[in-house]
Amino acid sequence: MKTNPVIETIQTRRSVRSYSSKQIDKEDLTTILHAAIHAPTGMGLQTWHFVAVQKADKLKELNNRVKNAFTKAYKQWEGEDYCCYYHAPTLIIVSNEPKELWAGQDCAAALQNIFLAARSL
């Protein structure tokens, strides 16, 4: 089977949910976000939004808000130490306009580019 760096990146990407505490540098974050905006979108509308959060106090606040919203449905989230983003030092939030027909697919394509770009770095 033929291979190249792109194919190798796709084949070696994993969801390990175990992150280094080292903060991602600005250049790498910019590269990752740049890859995200190059994902295909339905009708080329590009209606997604990206927010990168790196400040520890903001990450903690976001985690607490998510935990409070979902604790009833997910009992494992009740513990004080549980972190919905697995203590990653950077969180990229991808959102879209709910009224957009292809919102979910557009976000999924952007996320795949984010995952592949992060893996390639």
Whether residue 83 is found in the same domain as residue 25:
no
Whether residue 48 is found in the same domain as residue 61:
no
Binning pLDDT at 50, 70 and 90, where does residue 120 land?
A: very high
Whether residue 26 is found in the same domain as residue 84:
no
What is the mean pLDDT of the segment spanning 55-73?
A: 90
Q: Is the pLDDT of residue 69 over 90?
A: no
Q: Is the pLDDT of residue 78 over 90?
A: no
The answer to the question of residue 14 being in a domain is no
Centroid of chain to Cα 120: 15
As a whole-number percent, the residues of the chain with pLDDT over 70 amount to 100
The answer to the question of residue 5 being in a domain is no
Q: Does this model's pTM top 0.75? A: yes
Which secondary-structure segment (H or E) carries 94?
A: strand 91-95
57-90 burial, b at 16+ Cβ within 10 Å, e below that, comes to: eebeebbeeebeeeeeeeeebeeeeebbbeebbb
What is the mean pLDDT of the segment spanning 71-75?
A: 77
Whether residue 59 is found in the same domain as residue 76:
yes
Residue 111: CATH number of its domain: 3.40.109.10
Whether residue 63 is found in the same domain as residue 121:
no
Domain count, the chain: 2
Whether residue 45 is found in the same domain as residue 100:
yes
Q: Which of 10-19, 69-78, 90-99 has the lowest mean pLDDT?
A: 69-78
The answer to the question of residue 6 being in a domain is no
Range of the domain at 113: 20-53+89-121
